[in-house]
Chain A
Amino acid sequence: MFIIRRVLIANRGEIAVRVIGTCQRLGIETVLAVSEADADSVPARLADRTIRLGPAGGGQGVAETYLSVPAVVGAAAAAGADAIHPGYGFLAENPRLARACEAAGIVFIGPGAEVLEAAGDKLAARAHAVAAGLPVLPGGPAELADAGALAERIGYPVLVKAAGGGGGRGLRVVREPGQLGEALAVASAEAQAAFGDPRVYLERYVSPARHVEVQLLGDGQNVIHLGDRDCSVQRRYAKLIEEAPAPLLGETLRVSMRVAAVALGLHLKYRGLGTVEFLVDTQRAAFYFLELNARIQVEHPVTEAVTGLDLVAEQIAIAEGRGLRLSQAGVGFRGHAIECRINAEDPAAGLRPSPGTVTSAVFPAGPGIRVDTHIQAGSAVPPAYDSLLAKLVVSGADRAQALARLRGALARCQIGGVATTLPLLSSLVDDMEMAAGGVDAGWLERRLG
């Protein structure tokens, strides 16, 4: 066991604030790695110290800062940090960072490089899921020569997916054989550009389907689940509203998914916090493995709200080599929680990013309301980074109470200076279908028209 005393946070935005909060509560000194643009950000002011990323007088793009393994590890070494928390996005799932940490004698707060490699390569992850006995959608690697035959076997429509990464990039729905060749080419080119890996694969396209995920926590030997989350309210594969537990999911299905997720975790000897994403075929009440996210998720607060756990603290405990502090029976679930992502995006302009300067920011407070944000009046929203401004997380004794509180809380959010998703979120939570629960992953796109 190793006690972490100083951690370098290799991230920005709300997740940096989130990690700083837990570290300070635990008595761990925080050093925030910042780009020049973030030097005066809220997390930079909250951290015990900051250290500049990137070459002196050199480039300050994402590639030279938050995405640079040498810059991040060099900053950690210079700061005397004994661990790195990567947050989500950027280098969070990059096995090169995990390896570089190991070489530098720094604890990487996340799974080992082998697991990151297995999770990052979607085809490898799919093979592990099969080996662990999880159901996967019919499909396989799309070699150009036999992709047509494979698609025929799967049956149209099929989905072309990138093997090297997720987030919607390199994804194409193909509804008839004539579209396949072009879709493969475009997806492969997109995948090459986004992940440096042109490999694509095919899977059956299921619609309507829900996106439900299971939170895992493992210590390399034992793995438990911390319940499920529904993330079906999404647009172009970007999640907008998440909730825990997933509503209107039959108990048999829910338990089966949780058991399957733990089986995959055990198969991989999973260490750390991770999420197994599933596609739920709502018509057949069947579920299929989608991917494994080997990091903390944006939507982790809804799980924290219903379990009462601090998932960042659990990550740190595992990284310190403590072993699981919880048994499965020791994880309780209480109430219901919903998270809304307040993004600097303009609903009136097709949710186009809306960078700028926040002129005013008022967030609600009260029972069952939590706001994770790095925004206050005067905060810059640079175009180079993602547009997440705040996560409004509301919980209640049941879903109805959580929704009622959420409506009130959204009405009390006021952000000026940049266009935000607030009006869209307000209209969505007022929607009858949303109130009923269990909307599918195409719902938001259909509703937006």
Chain B
Amino acid sequence: MSEVQLVDVSLRDGNQSLWGATGLRTAHILQIAPVLNRIGFRALDYCSSTAMGVAVRTHREDPWQRIRLTRAAMPDTPLQFIGTGFRFISWERAHPDVMRLVYQRLVAAGISRFVVLDPTHDMSAVLATARMIRQAGGTEIIAALTYTISAVHDDPFYAGIAGQAAASRDIDRLYVKDPAGLLTPERARTLIPAIRARLAGKALELHAHGTIGLSPLVYLAAPDLGVSVLQVACGALADGSSLPDALRTVANLRELGHTVNVDDRLLARAARYFDLLAAAEGLPSGRPRPYDAAFTRHQLAGGVLTTLRRQLAELGLEDRFEAVIEEVTQVRAELGYPIMVTPFPQMVMGQALSNVISGARYSVVPDQVIRYVLGSFGKPTADVEPWVLDRILDRPRARELAAEPPPPSVAELRQRLPRGTTDEELLLRFGMPGEEVDAMLAAAPAARHYHPELQPILRLLRELGSRPPAQRLVLDKPGFRLSLTGGGDGARS
């Protein structure tokens, strides 16, 4: 029996998995932040550059200010930023100078815990990023071991990269990140001990999505295998393609005799808050998902499959769905088994679709695939099939992309911007179209309070306010009648 700590992912991964990263605004977060602070979570998965971009683009809110305000509202629980170390908001590769500034500003704003995630498991890239984060002041740096099923991703593979990461002073702990929820309890029983044997005592966390319903079971096995932290989510932001529900996980762990030191009352309150928020904003609640055997083969998340069906229908090619799925499996192998986390599912799917539609494999190759093969996203985990490599690189577009100028440094970016532009604004302008940053700066500061229970009445009042003045408003239902009558000048009612 052991003590298990929890990291809550509701605000970042929950929001991203279930609400397309667009559900939560600054006020939503600040309202519940003091409560989350007191639950006893080891840390909160809080932010990514994608989430920062959404704050600007969708909500016209300053993501840096959001971090500062959250930090002030929850001073005790570390806030985590997850990133690859080579890009910021935009999919373009960023200059190391720019990434250094990103990490410096994140630390200054209140982020202390960082996950370094290299989608191709290029550990030299991971360690270089970790070094950069440490120099910027990051106090806890976690290397991600992203789990997938393939011919190359066996236990020795993960043990090997875990050993490389754990040997670095810049990596404080590691976690098994299972973005597609593929890990079974059986595989966990071999994988986790193999990894732990190479960690030299560093802690191991587990982060498994519930995409096909496996993760709650894996979480029951994990503490006995030496996992000290489980990552969970609260209320409507748990389950489904998000992470296991915190309340249920705590109850299950205690049932098995483990100790979980969290404030149950506040945990229930946080869950209830996200439930109410989902209802008030019309956002879906995560639900436990059934097992899906085919998913382990293609590893395409529901959203990607839905998009594929729509695209095929638009082309009148609905009958090719299975063929495309088969092609996905093959393309993934030929490209060296990229792990199916953003941006790779979209990339593999795009290539598979082209191959099926054109009838000639790799006759059409999207830019993203060319960049992948050129190493823009890091070194592929396994070698790309030689004939596929030749096919992709032997085209004018590949030479154009290979000759692209290197990304701009901070000094070069600064030259393009007016004097006095802050570092935070410079980084946003690097990662996003200028007009979106302009619109954010022109908008009023983000609201800081949010009460889900008030939203229906506020919506009603806004609706009433947007209509021509009515002399009489009547609400009539069985056992209840409310009648408001306008005064002489319409000012009183």
Q: Is the CB of A5 within 8 A of B34?
A: no
Q: Is the CB of A27 within 8 A of B35?
A: yes
Q: Say what secondary structure dominates the interface of chain A.
A: loop
The CA of A3 and the CA of B261, in the complex, are separated in Å by: 14
Q: Is B265 an interface residue (CB 8 A)?
A: yes
Q: Is the CB of A27 within 8 A of B76?
A: no
The CA of A25 and the CA of B269, in the complex, are separated in Å by: 11
Q: Is B37 an interface residue (CB 8 A)?
A: yes
A317 CB to nearest chain B CB (Å) = 8
Write the residues of chain A forming the contact surface with B, with a CB cutoff of 8 angstroms. Answer: 1, 3, 5, 25-29, 322, 325
Partner of A27, one of B38, B72, B75: B38
Residues of chain A within 8 A (CB-CB) of B75 are 322, 325
Residues of chain A within 8 A (CB-CB) of B269 are 27
A304 CB to nearest chain B CB (Å) = 14
Would you give 8 A-B contacts (Cβ < 8 Å), ordered by A?
Answer: A3-B76, A25-B34, A26-B35, A27-B35, A27-B38, A27-B269, A322-B75, A325-B75
Q: Is B438 an interface residue (CB 8 A)?
A: no
Partner of B38, one of A1, A26, A322, A325: A26
Given known A-B contacts A3-B76, A325-B72, A325-B75, A26 and B34 have beta carbons under 8 A apart: yes
Residues of chain A within 8 A (CB-CB) of B263 are 5, 27
Residues of chain A within 8 A (CB-CB) of B38 are 3, 5, 26-28
Residues of chain B within 8 A (CB-CB) of A325 are 72, 75
The CA of A3 and the CA of B39, in the complex, are separated in Å by: 11
Residues of chain B within 8 A (CB-CB) of A322 are 75
B198 CB to nearest chain A CB (Å) = 36
Q: Is the CB of A29 within 8 A of B72?
A: no
The CA of A322 and the CA of B73, in the complex, are separated in Å by: 13
The CA of A3 and the CA of B75, in the complex, are separated in Å by: 11
A20 CB to nearest chain B CB (Å) = 15
Q: Is B266 an interface residue (CB 8 A)?
A: yes
Residue of A nearest to B75 (CB): A322
A22 CB to nearest chain B CB (Å) = 9
Residues of chain B within 8 A (CB-CB) of A28 are 38
B380 CB to nearest chain A CB (Å) = 46
The CA of A383 and the CA of B397, in the complex, are separated in Å by: 88
Q: Which of B170-222 contact A (CB under 8 A)?
A: none
B116 CB to nearest chain A CB (Å) = 29
Residue of A nearest to B492 (CB): A412
Given known A-B contacts A325-B72, A325-B75, A29 and B35 have beta carbons under 8 A apart: no
Residues of chain B within 8 A (CB-CB) of A3 are 38, 76
The CA of A66 and the CA of B408, in the complex, are separated in Å by: 68
Residues of chain B within 8 A (CB-CB) of A25 are 34
Smallest CB-CB A-B distances: 7 pairs: A27-B35, A26-B34, A27-B38, A27-B266, A27-B34, A25-B34, A3-B38
B284 CB to nearest chain A CB (Å) = 26
Residues of chain A within 8 A (CB-CB) of B266 are 27
Q: Which of B21-39 contact A (CB under 8 A)?
A: 34-35, 37-39
Which has the most chain B C-beta neighbours within 10 Å: A1, A26, A28, A325? A26
